[in-house]
């Protein structure tokens, strides 16, 4: 697998409403990687071990959504990530793409499949915050991980970033390295206006518009639902519910895995996504 450097993949594009930063690599069918909603989340920080592997087969686009990373800031009272994604596709002359989304990015990808099916060839999610109602196993109200995420937006201290990274993964001592914590903290504090914009809208931000669960059965894109069995941010019962309602879907539950399946089990994730997009 070719080693890719973030600086070499970094690009900006100006859409109708925003200047959006993104990473791009490879050729072929477009695959858009949508990051989660935590402080310090970017296209690169959420997908750095996946971009090189997927770029061997596809044209990979990993944006920083407006409100994160090096993209423009937004007002979360009015921001619609689906509109931002569609503007990005238009600016890059992409008619239809496979969408891969972690957490908030998974939620956005599901909304794309419901609201803009003409732009979605495949749907792949990891840990989207979509739960059954009434709950069977998940908590009523914000999960343990969501609470720590909110606290880190309000107080982006090194201590809170340590707590945030550790709760996102199954094996904190092994995976939550000082380097990863420093990377997330540096990315977040480089754009303090992004932190403030989310913090002032909690708990509505960073998902101001929620999908209509009654329309999950309308999704026509082939769908792969990946979830960590040990996810403490969004429990895997949400993925089981999605698999029960999305017609052409399959679920893959990974043991000893938290909220970041694409990072914690990168090789397995890369194989799953590659095979699915090539053959589904």
The structural domains of the chain, with segments of one domain joined by +, span 6-279
pLDDT over 60 at 57, yes or no = yes
Whose structure tokens read 């982006």?
156
The whole-number average pLDDT for the span 169-174 is 83
- Residue 184 has a pLDDT of 80
The percentage of residues in the chain with a pLDDT greater than 90, rounded to a whole number, is: 78
194 has catalytic annotation: no
Question: Residues 122, 194, 227, 259: which is the catalytic one?
Answer: 259
What's the pTM?
Answer: 0.94
Could you tell me the fold of the domain covering 6-279?
Rossmann fold (3.40.50)
- Residue 178 has a pLDDT of 80
Which of 1-15, 40-54, 242-256 has the lowest average pLDDT?
1-15
- Residue 104 has a pLDDT of 96
Question: What is the spatial distance between Cα 258 and Cα 260, in angstroms, rounded to a whole number?
Answer: 6
Angle at 18 between CA 5 and CA 206, to 5 degrees: 85
């Amino acid at each position: 697998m070719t080693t890719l450097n973030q600086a070499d993949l970094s690009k900006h594009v100006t859409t109708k409403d925003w200047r959006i930063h993104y990473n791009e690599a490879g050729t072929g069918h477009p695959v858009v990687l949508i990051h989660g909603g935590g402080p310090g989340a970017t296209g690169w920080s959420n997908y750095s071990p996946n971009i090189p592997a997927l770029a061997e087969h596809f044209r990979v686009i990993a944006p920083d959504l407006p409100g994160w990373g090096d993209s423009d800031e937004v007002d979360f009272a009015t921001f619609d990530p689906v509109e931002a994604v569609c503007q990005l596709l238009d600016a890059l002359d992409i008619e239809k793409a496979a969408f891969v989304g972690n957490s908030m990015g998974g939620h956005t990808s599901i909304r794309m499949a419901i609201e803009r099916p003409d732009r979605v060839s495949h749907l792949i999610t990891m840990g989207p915050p979509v739960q059954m109602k009434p709950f069977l196993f998940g908590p009523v109200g914000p999960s343990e991980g969501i609470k720590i995420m909110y606290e880190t937006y309000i107080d982006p201290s090194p201590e809170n970033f340590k707590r945030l990274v550790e709760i996102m993964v199954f094996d904190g001592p092994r995976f939550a390295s000082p380097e990863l914590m420093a990377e997330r903290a540096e990315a977040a504090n480089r754009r303090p206006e992004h932190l403030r914009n989310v913090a002032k809208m909690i708990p509505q931000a960073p998902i101001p518009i929620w999908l209509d669960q009654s329309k999950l059965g309308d999704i026509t894109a082939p769908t792969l639902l990946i979830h960590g069995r040990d996810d403490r941010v969004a429990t895997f019962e949400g993925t089981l519910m999605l698999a029960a309602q999305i017609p052409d879907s399959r679920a893959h539950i990974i043991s000893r895995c938290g909220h970041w399946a694409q990072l914690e089990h990168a090789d397995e994730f890369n194989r799953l996504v590659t095979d699915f997009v090539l053959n589904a």
